Amino acid sequence: MKYDFEMDLDEQSSVGIIAAQIKPGSKVLEFRPGNGRLTKHLIGAKNCQVSIVELDKELFDFVSEFSQDGFYGDISNQTVKGFCSICNKESRVTLFMRKTRTTSDGQYTKKGDYICFDSTVCNQQISDLSYFYHFLNKIQ
Ligand SMILES: [Zn+2]
């Protein structure tokens, strides 16, 4: 498993600080959950509903086994200044392309929208999940 590390839930760690701020039973969007340790913690210990957006296929397949909802896609390396479709704040954004395998010959269709290039910034800026659900509807 790549990016494997022991999650440090200590209040001093960044993940611990994020975890401590999430109320039990919350609906949570986790952007780029990595190996899903925080995802597991939020679902298991905090009884949260967690939706994920991941850019790495292997990690997406792994984490989407236990997250409630999720999307897999690509981002471009080019960033522009604009509004993010997930957090609805102005920041450096990049085009997120959702990949869906729809045809029998293995072709992918892509639907995209702009999201924060820096997932940590995005996670910190999310204050209203309704934009995220709008984003999900748009790329579905
Ligand atoms: Zn954002």
Query: Ligand 1 mean position to 118 CA, how many Å?
Result: 8
Backbone angles phi, psi at 130, to 5 degrees: -65, -30
Query: Ligand 1 mean position to 86 CA, how many Å?
Result: 5
Query: Ligand 1 mean position to 84 CA, how many Å?
Result: 4
How far is 89 from 24, CA to CA, in rounded Å? 25
Structural domain includes residue 76: yes
Structural domain includes residue 6: no
Structural domain includes residue 36: yes
Query: Ligand 1 mean position to 103 CA, how many Å?
Result: 31
Structural domain includes residue 98: yes
Structural domain includes residue 94: yes
Structural domain includes residue 99: yes
Query: Ligand 1 mean position to 132 CA, how many Å?
Result: 9
pLDDT tens digits along 41-71: 999 999 999 988 888 889 999 999 999 888 8
Helices then strands, each counted (H, E), the chain: 5, 6
Structural domain includes residue 22: yes
| pLDDT band at 1; cut points 50, 70, 90 | very low
Structural domain includes residue 2: no
| pLDDT band at 77; cut points 50, 70, 90 | confident
Query: Ligand 1 mean position to 104 CA, how many Å?
Result: 34
User: Residue 63 has what pLDDT?
Assistant: 93
- Domain enclosing residue 120, as ranges: 14-139
Out of 65-69, 105-109, 133-137, which region has the weakest mean confidence (pLDDT)? 105-109
Number of domains in the chain: 1
Q: What is the mean pLDDT of residues 67-84?
A: 88
